[in-house]
């Protein structure tokens, strides 16, 4: 024994079929079989529950499987899809516990001893593990017991997350039928000859007698029936890269079709990152070409992110600028994952981006729209209310930190683009008195300041002349009104917030 007192077994039945359904979600509810070989000798190697309900079994010929289930969908076995799904399940479990064991495709053991202080009781943890597996697209069964062996036996019978109380493993396994488990060759036949029908009856047999008759297989059967672990827990360590791959049964020669494939791959990849509380700050795209070569693109993200849509947009721009030379037959996307980190800031204010991130964004914008269209907005040397100029953006980290600590109790001036045409009644002196169609239907002017007369470009056809007023209304708003002297119109030009 290795000291593990509470362990959860996470098991995905028919893992190869579940991995394909993860890549193609439309196949989850219809009969699906995974086949291998070359026609007409292709055979079924895995099938989902809908296909098994139609009597489709492993090692069955494809023709026989289709005859039994005419609606059967077949997909070729893909090592890349299975490997990605296997990593996704491990990542989902790793997000809840740092000690997990990879026991094969679709089978993960999770050490949950001590997690009750953080996550809750065993049944709560079991449900969270099931939800974590579903979040990465894999329907998993979960069972909790005192040993890995007991949990693995219990999960085969569990239709929902289940828990074996501490010390009750032997009683819980005693009623399990021998036919419910997979046994090594010769063991099942021997147990049937002896009339052994349950695990409790196997546990009651003498270990020495089983060893004499069945050898090591007999001892292993007795360990299973007793819920005993004979091998140490082997913790899994995540590799430093995160990858999702998608092999294609057809060639793709348009960027729109390639973008649709990348969207599915990104959704699976980001789901794994979210489950492990990570984000990606860089992507590497490896596209397999029909010519036998590869098209590789590296993308540095402006900031760590875990949402597929912005990353897909960046990849689409990258591929549009440098498209693959020939048709695509496969896609592999690798993410450089970093932990999510808390960024210090000021209460009530959004955190400012890091200087490195802002520089990366500016570089990408320059490449996209040109250097002349990227910069900071500065007022132009003109009295025109909409005049501005573009200047080079300079980042001053110390000034930003100083600004972050200042009091924000100031009045903001929000310009309306374009200004709204309104009706204004004036008094005998020409000052605004009643405003129709501002922020409320009708508002009376409580106080006002102005007018300020501005004009310019009298020599041009686009000449302008206006007078501006700052007015306080009885609906508790302060606005700026402008009267176009050339057209005779009143405009709601801005609002003070």
CB 182 within 8 A of CB 104: no
Q: Say how far apart CA 346 and CA 194 lie, in whole Å.
A: 75
* More confidently predicted of 152 and 299: 152
pLDDT 10s digits, 107-133: 999 999 988 888 889 999 999 999 999
Strand pairing class (464-473; 478-484): antiparallel
Helix 15-23 with 79-94: angle, nearest 10 deg: 90
The architecture (CATH level 2) of 1-238 comes to 2-Layer Sandwich (3.30)
The H or E element containing residue 317 is: helix 308-321
Burial of 432 (0-12, 13-18, 19+ CB in 10 A): buried
pLDDT 10s digits, 383-397: 666 666 776 555 444
Where does the pLDDT of residue 105 fall: very low under 50, low under 70, confident under 90, or very high at 90 and above? very high
Buried b (16+ CB within 10 A) or exposed e, 21-42: bbbeeebbeebbbbbeeeeeeb
Lowest mean pLDDT among 22-36, 59-73, 259-273, 390-404: 390-404
Where does the pLDDT of residue 278 fall: very low under 50, low under 70, confident under 90, or very high at 90 and above? confident
25 contacts: CB under 8 Å, gap ≥ 6 = 137
Where does the pLDDT of residue 1 fall: very low under 50, low under 70, confident under 90, or very high at 90 and above? very low
Tell me: pLDDT of 274 over 80: yes
Tell me: pLDDT of 313 over 70: yes
Q: Say how far apart CA 44 and CA 296 lie, in whole Å.
A: 35
Instruction: Find out if CATH 3.40.630.10 is the number for domain 242-339.
Output: no
Domain range annotation of the chain? 1-238, 242-339, 352-403, 413-496
SS3 content of the chain, % helix, strand, coil (to 5): 35, 30, 35
Lowest mean pLDDT among 20-24, 145-149, 156-160, 430-434: 430-434
| Predicted local distance difference test score (pLDDT) of residue 116 | 86
HSE toward the beta carbon, residue 403, CA cutoff 13 A: 10
Q: Tell whether the torsion through CA atoms of 183, 189, 190 and 196 is positive or negative.
A: positive
Tell me: pLDDT of 195 over 80: yes
The H or E element containing residue 177 is: none
Residue-level length of the chain: 497
Backbone angles phi, psi at 415, to 5 degrees: -75, 145
The H or E element containing residue 53 is: helix 49-53
Tell me: pLDDT of 232 over 80: yes
Q: Say how far apart CA 20 and CA 368 lie, in whole Å.
A: 37
Q: Which residue has the tokens 């200042």?
A: 406
Strand pairing class (73-76; 32-36): parallel
Cα angle, residue 295 at apex, residues 291 and 301 outer, rounded to 5°: 165
One fold for 1-238 and 242-339: no
Mean pLDDT score of the chain, rounded to an integer?
83
| Predicted local distance difference test score (pLDDT) of residue 56 | 93
Lowest mean pLDDT among 109-113, 239-243, 313-317, 368-372: 368-372
Q: Say how far apart CA 419 and CA 448 lie, in whole Å.
A: 19
Lowest mean pLDDT among 155-159, 332-336, 362-366: 362-366
Tell me: pLDDT of 412 over 90: no
Query: Which pair of tokens denotes residue 119?
Result: 């996550």
The segment with the largest mean pLDDT, out of 62-71, 274-283, 291-300, is 62-71
The segment with the largest mean pLDDT, out of 286-300, 344-358, 407-421, 425-439, is 286-300
What share of the chain has pLDDT > 70, as a percent? 85
| Predicted local distance difference test score (pLDDT) of residue 399 | 47
| Predicted TM-score of the model (pTM) | 0.62
| Predicted local distance difference test score (pLDDT) of residue 382 | 67
Tell me: pLDDT of 376 over 90: no
| Predicted local distance difference test score (pLDDT) of residue 440 | 73
């Amino acid at each position: 024994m290795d000291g593990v007192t509470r362990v959860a077994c996470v098991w995905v039945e028919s893992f190869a079929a579940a991995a394909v359904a993860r890549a193609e979600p439309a196949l989850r509810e219809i009969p699906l079989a995974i086949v291998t070989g070359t026609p007409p000798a292709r055979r079924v190697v895995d099938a989902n529950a809908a296909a098994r309900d139609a009597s489709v079994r492993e090692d069955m010929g494809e023709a026989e499987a289709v005859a039994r289930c005419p609606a059967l969908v077949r997909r070729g076995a893909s090592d890349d899809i299975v490997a990605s799904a296997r990593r996704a399940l491990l990542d989902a479990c790793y997000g809840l516990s740092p000690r997990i064991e990879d026991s094969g495709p679709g089978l993960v053991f999770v050490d949950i001893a001590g997690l009750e202080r953080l996550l809750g009781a065993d049944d709560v943890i079991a449900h969270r593990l099931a939800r974590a597996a579903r979040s990465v697209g894999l329907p998993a069964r979960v069972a909790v017991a005192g040993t890995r062996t007991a949990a693995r036996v219990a999960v085969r019978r569990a239709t929902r997350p289940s828990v074996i109380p501490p010390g009750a493993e032997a009683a819980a396994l005693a009623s399990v039928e021998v036919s419910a488990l997979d046994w090594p060759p010769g063991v099942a036949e021997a147990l049937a000859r002896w009339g052994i029908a349950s695990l409790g009856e196997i546990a009651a047999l003498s270990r020495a007698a089983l060893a004499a008759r069945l050898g090591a297989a007999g001892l292993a059967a007795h360990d299973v029936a007793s819920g005993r672990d004979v091998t140490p827990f082997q913790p899994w360590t995540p590799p430093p890269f995160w990858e999702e791959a998608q092999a294609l049964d057809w060639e793709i020669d348009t960027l729109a079709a390639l973008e649709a494939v990348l969207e599915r791959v990104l959704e699976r990849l980001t789901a794994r990152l979210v489950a492990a509380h990570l984000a990606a700050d860089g992507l590497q795209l490896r596209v397999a070409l029909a010519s036998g070569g590869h098209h590789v693109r590296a993308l540095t993200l402006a900031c760590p992110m875990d949402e597929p849509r912005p990353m897909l947009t960046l990849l689409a721009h990258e591929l549009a600028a440098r498209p693959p030379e020939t048709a695509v037959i496969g896609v592999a996307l690798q993410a450089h994952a970093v932990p999510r980190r808390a960024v210090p800031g000021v209460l009530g204010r959004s955190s400012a981006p890091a200087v490195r991130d802002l520089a990366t964004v500016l570089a990408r914008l320059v490449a996209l729209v040109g250097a002349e269209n990227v910069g900071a907005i500065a007022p132009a040397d003109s009295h025109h209310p909409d005049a501005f100029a573009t200047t080079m953006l300079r980042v001053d980290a110390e000034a930003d930190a100083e600004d972050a600590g200042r009091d924000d109790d100031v009045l903001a001036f929000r310009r309306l683009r374009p200004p709204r045409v309104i009706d204004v009644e004036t008094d005998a002196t020409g000052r605004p008195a009643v405003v129709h169609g501002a922020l409320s239907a009708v508002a009376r002017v409580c106080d006002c300041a102005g007018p300020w007369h501005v004009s310019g470009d009298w020599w041009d056809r686009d000449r302008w002349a206006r007078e501006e007023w700052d007015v306080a209304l009885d609906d508790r708003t302060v606005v700026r009104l402008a009267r176009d002297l050339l057209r005779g119109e009143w405009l709601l030009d801005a609002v003070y917030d």
